[in-house]
Copies of this chain bind each other. A is one copy, B any other.
């Protein structure tokens, strides 16, 4: 009755095998089979979503290509949306690795808008490759079943990125000589990061569903982020109030 993913140590228990490493040592046939199927399912979903688009792929299609029964599929992902989340969590992780330089020593000479855009750029590149599926991905992240395993993973991913952005923003608080901008007093960096991500989510959805052309996304997102960074209104300098 256990799901295959909710890990139990493979051949653990009384097994007196002196396995040094935690997970990967002597997985046992069962564990190997599971891993194998997991891999096949991931590959099948990846390929089919890419080929036909999320909406035109049936779970049966995926099961067939992965060479598992229809019912088995749902032991590895509890729903079709969860399959999408599984695939795209991978995609986003891939896109992000390498770009994720230590945020604490982010290039301070960069204007905050540019610093943040640099962090988000790989996601935009990925989105340009799969616009529609990316939109569905965003939808599931934002509105999906709260219980999904892969959705939880996606939320972690997003939270991580938000935290990174928050850290970058906080960096502008410590007055380094080169900087010309600093965090406004009373602003919660975490909340600020979340607001920026809100814009990203919805921009990706707009483009993915064709409400806005994909090419204009980097520019328009930059403009939006710049807006929230610097604000919509400003104080009227007491003296300057002309007329």
**Residues of A bordering B, CB below 8 Å:** 112, 135-136, 139, 142-143, 146, 169, 172, 175, 177, 179-184, 187-188, 191-192, 195, 198-199, 201-202, 205, 209-211, 223-224, 227-236, 241-243
Contact = CB atoms under 8 A, between A and B. Distances in A.
Contact of A227 (B177, B201, B228): B228
A232 B201 contact: no
A233 to B, nearest CB: 5
22 contacts: A112-B233, A135-B143, A136-B143, A143-B143, A143-B209, A146-B210, A146-B211, A169-B232, A181-B235, A181-B236, A182-B234, A184-B230, A184-B233, A188-B223, A191-B223, A191-B224, A192-B227, A198-B198, A228-B232, A229-B232, A229-B233, A230-B232
A192 B233 CA distance: 10
A167 B228 CA distance: 18
B143 A139 contact: yes
B175 A243 contact: yes
Contacts of A191: 223-224, 227
Given A180-B235, A202-B202, 7 more contacts: A143-B205, A143-B209, A181-B233, A181-B234, A182-B234, A198-B198, A229-B233
Contact of A205 (B142, B175, B224): B142
A17 to B, nearest CB: 43
- Nearest first, the 8 A-B pairs at minimum CB distance are A231-B231, A192-B232, A139-B143, A181-B233, A230-B231, A228-B228, A198-B202, A184-B234
Contacts of A175: 236, 241-243
Contacts of A205: 142-143
Contacts of A228: 195, 227-228, 231-232
Contacts of A112: 232-233
Nearest to A142: B205
A214 to B, nearest CB: 15
A210 to B, nearest CB: 7
B146 A183 contact: no
A178 B18 CA distance: 79
A241 to B, nearest CB: 6
Contacts of A229: 231-233
A206 to B, nearest CB: 8
